[in-house]
């Protein structure tokens, strides 16, 4: 099943199969599980032991390569010879095809190489008779992959009655890869508590967290409501006729109405329409939490390449003082019609004063532009700021090698 449309990561074919593998594993192997092998190496794991599930994507009609089959023990080999248990579930939808991915498979916190618009890439091919053949093609425009931090809930579809309908909560930055790992088994990067208890379906995912730390804390609290200091006072217990997933959904609703998560601009997304159930009527979600259905759209942001695509940072529209750093800048959401720039602290004070929350909070949940009255969510402004910081590290060099300071893209950023 596909949960993302045309995902930007290597997509297994429809006939690739995955194997099964319950709830609440809180060892944060999950951080490495949700990262790429290059990211996992930063945590000190040997590259040779990292994410063997990456090999799943290089095989079209089987889940592992022959060399893996040769190195597995008898029990593992027998498991691999079992009949198909589930098709790969896709979770991500991307607006760009795999052929155009180029070098943009990176988080927006990393800088990408910058090419001029007219740069050409020369590709050398070796023909059957050994002769070298060169051909050139225009380089893809540089882009930054938008950040994604999500906490998901899996439901087991096992035929074994002891495992059927059990739930598992986890964190990921790549849902497509993570569901493949869970269904492939522990030896391919899946969690121990999902191994041989599947196949698993990723039913819902909560995303929009500002960073991985925030998402990991949400994951742990969702797994352990009886231990979380935010939830244990509620004494949440599973009701007699309540399903495991309905109980997990009720916990999530309580969390989204509790600090610190109730002030975040999050999205609750149903990935499988057939598994959608009603939210508890006595615990409605906050009005600013977006409820979405369907595949996640994984997008990239184009890095502007021409000098006229950039503009200098303007003075703060509230205090009229200069904004010295992009890390202090917030832009109005109506970039085409308004385009006002603000100090982060100035806009926060104005929005908090309007909602009478100035004494209790450091930042608002939402507000409106002091100039054009356009409504905004604070989380959207912060995401825009993080993109501007990433673009600053990867933008082209103008004026004979000198990088012009205090430049930001003019207008709205282009998503692909």
Cβ neighbours for 296, distance < 8 A, ≥ 6 positions apart: 3, 4, 91, 92, 93, 148, 150, 175, 205, 207, 269, 271
In this structure, is residue 137 part of a structural domain?
no
Work out the average pLDDT over 331-352.
Answer: 91
Q: Which of 131-145, 181-195, 264-278 has the lowest mean pLDDT?
A: 131-145
Residues 262 and 241 grouped into a single domain: yes
HSE value, Cβ hemisphere, 13 Å, CA-based, for 107:
16
pTM here is 0.71
Residues 156 and 291 grouped into a single domain: yes
What was the pLDDT predicted at 83? 36
Q: Which of 193-202, 225-234, 354-363, 396-405 has the lowest mean pLDDT?
A: 396-405
How many angstroms separate the CA atoms of 209 and 147, rounded?
9
Q: Which of 65-69, 173-177, 324-328, 357-361 has the lowest mean pLDDT?
A: 65-69
Give residue 160's domain range. 17-91+146-298
54 or 154, which is more confident: 154
Q: Rounded to the nearest 10 degrees, how much is the dihedral formed by the CA atoms of 79, 80, 81, 84?
A: 100
Residues 282 and 331 grouped into a single domain: no
Mean pLDDT of the chain, nearest integer? 76
pLDDT tens column, 279-291: 999 999 999 999 9
Per-residue confidence band for 395, with pLDDT thresholds at 50, 70 and 90:
confident
Distances from the Cα of 215 to the Cα of 23, 207, 260, 331, 334, angstroms:
17, 8, 11, 25, 29
Reported as type and span, the H/E element at residue 150 is strand 150-156
Work out the average pLDDT over 325-341.
Answer: 88
Q: Is the pLDDT of residue 195 over 80?
A: yes
Residues 255 and 316 grouped into a single domain: no
Residues 253 and 374 grouped into a single domain: no
In this structure, is residue 63 part of a structural domain?
yes
Residues 221 and 327 grouped into a single domain: no
Of residues 19, 160, 171, 163, the one with CA closest to residue 88: 19
How many angstroms separate the CA atoms of 182 and 85, rounded?
13
Contact criterion met (CB below 8 Å) for 291 and 204: no
**Can you name the residues that pair with 402 across neighbouring β-strands?**
398
Q: Is the pLDDT of residue 231 over 90?
A: yes
How many angstroms separate the CA atoms of 252 and 218, rounded?
9
Cβ neighbours for 371, distance < 8 A, ≥ 6 positions apart: 317, 332, 338, 340
Residues 354 and 273 grouped into a single domain: no
226 or 29, which is more confident: 226
What was the pLDDT predicted at 407? 85
Q: What's the chain's length in residues?
A: 416
**Residue 138 DSSP symbol:** E
In this structure, is residue 12 part of a structural domain?
no
What was the pLDDT predicted at 84? 37
In this structure, is residue 100 part of a structural domain?
no
Work out the average pLDDT over 105-113.
Answer: 40
Per-residue confidence band for 166, with pLDDT thresholds at 50, 70 and 90:
very high
Residues 57 and 165 grouped into a single domain: yes
Per-residue confidence band for 411, with pLDDT thresholds at 50, 70 and 90:
confident
What was the pLDDT predicted at 137? 61
What was the pLDDT predicted at 7? 42
**Residue 327 DSSP symbol:** G
Q: Is the pLDDT of residue 262 over 90?
A: yes
In this structure, is residue 109 part of a structural domain?
no
Of residues 246, 279, 3, the one with CA closest to residue 148: 3
Residues 320 and 195 grouped into a single domain: no
Work out the average pLDDT over 246-273.
Answer: 95
Of residues 342, 301, 336, 349, the one with CA closest to residue 410: 336
In degrees and rounded to multiples of 5, residue 226 shows phi and psi of -80, -15
In this structure, is residue 117 part of a structural domain?
no
Q: Is the pLDDT of residue 81 over 80?
A: no
Give residue 225's Cα distance to chain centre. 24
Per-residue confidence band for 133, with pLDDT thresholds at 50, 70 and 90:
low
Work out the average pLDDT over 293-303.
Answer: 89
In this structure, is residue 207 part of a structural domain?
yes
Residues 202 and 259 grouped into a single domain: yes
Work out the average pLDDT over 401-415.
Answer: 73
Residues 232 and 324 grouped into a single domain: no
139 or 242, which is more confident: 242
Q: Last residue of a domain, which of 240, 271, 298?
A: 298
Q: Is the pLDDT of residue 131 over 90?
A: no
In this structure, is residue 115 part of a structural domain?
no
Omega before residue 37 within 30° of 0, cis: no
Q: Are strands 290-293 and 267-270 parallel, antiparallel or unpaired?
A: parallel
Q: Give the number of domains in the chain.
A: 2
Work out the average pLDDT over 110-118.
Answer: 42
Contact criterion met (CB below 8 Å) for 334 and 372: yes
Domain with residue 341: its CATH number is 3.30.40.10
Omega before residue 291 within 30° of 0, cis: no
Residues 390 and 347 grouped into a single domain: yes
What was the pLDDT predicted at 125? 63
Work out the average pLDDT over 217-234.
Answer: 94
Q: Last residue of a domain, which of 252, 281, 298?
A: 298
Contact criterion met (CB below 8 Å) for 361 and 341: no
Q: Is the pLDDT of residue 2 over 90?
A: no
Work out the average pLDDT over 324-343.
Answer: 89
Structural tokens at position 250: 């009720």
Q: Is the pLDDT of residue 318 over 90?
A: yes
Q: Last residue of a domain, which of 270, 298, 326?
A: 298
Reported as type and span, the H/E element at residue 86 is strand 86-87
């Amino acid at each position: 099943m596909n949960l993302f449309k045309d995902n930007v990561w290597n997509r297994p074919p429809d006939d690739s199969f995955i194997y099964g593998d319950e709830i609440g594993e809180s060892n944060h192997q999950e951080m490495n599980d949700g990262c790429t092998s290059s990211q996992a190496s930063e945590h000190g794991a040997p590259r040779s032991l990292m994410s063997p599930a990456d090999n799943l994507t290089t095989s079209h009609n089987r889940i592992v390569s022959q060399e893996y089959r040769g190195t597995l023990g008898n029990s593992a080999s027998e498991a691999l010879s079992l009949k198909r248990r589930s098709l790969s579930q896709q979770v991500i939808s991307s607006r760009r095809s795999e052929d155009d991915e180029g070098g943009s498979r990176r988080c927006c916190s990393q800088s990408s190489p910058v090419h001029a618009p007219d740069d050409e890439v020369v590709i050398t091919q070796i023909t059957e008779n050994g002769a070298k053949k060169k051909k050139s093609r225009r380089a893809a425009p540089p882009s930054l992959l938008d950040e994604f931090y999500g906490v998901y809930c899996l439901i087991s579809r096992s035929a074994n009655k002891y495992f059927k309908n059990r739930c598992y909560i986890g964190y990921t930055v790549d849902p497509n890869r993570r569901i493949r790992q869970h269904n492939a088994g522990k030896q391919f990067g899946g969690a121990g508590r999902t191994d041989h208890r599947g196949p698993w379906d990723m039913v819902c995912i909560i995303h929009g967290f500002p960073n991985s730390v925030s998402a990991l804390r949400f994951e742990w609290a969702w797994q352990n409501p009886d231990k979380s200091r935010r939830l244990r006072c509620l004494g949440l217990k599973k009701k007699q006729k309540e399903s495991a997933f309905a109980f997990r959904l009720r916990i999530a609703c309580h969390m989204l109405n509790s600090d610190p998560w109730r002030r975040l601009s999050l999205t609750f997304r149903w990935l499988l329409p057939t598994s959608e159930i009603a939210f508890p009527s006595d615990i409605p979600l906050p009005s600013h939490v977006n409820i979405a259905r369907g595949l996640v759209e994984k997008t990239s942001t184009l890095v502007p390449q021409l000098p006229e695509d950039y503009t200098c940072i303007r003075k703060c529209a509230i205090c009229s003082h200069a904004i010295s750093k992009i890390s202090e800048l917030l832009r109005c959401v109506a970039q085409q019609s308004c385009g006002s720039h603000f100090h982060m602290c100035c806009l926060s004070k104005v929005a908090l004063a309007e909602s009478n929350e100035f004494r209790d909070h450091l930042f608002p949940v939402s507000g409106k532009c002091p100039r054009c009255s356009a409504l905004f969510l604070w989380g959207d402004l912060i995401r825009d700021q993080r993109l501007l910081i990433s673009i600053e590290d990867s933008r082209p060099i103008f004026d004979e090698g000198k990088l012009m300071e205090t430049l930001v893209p003019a207008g709205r950023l282009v998503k692909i």
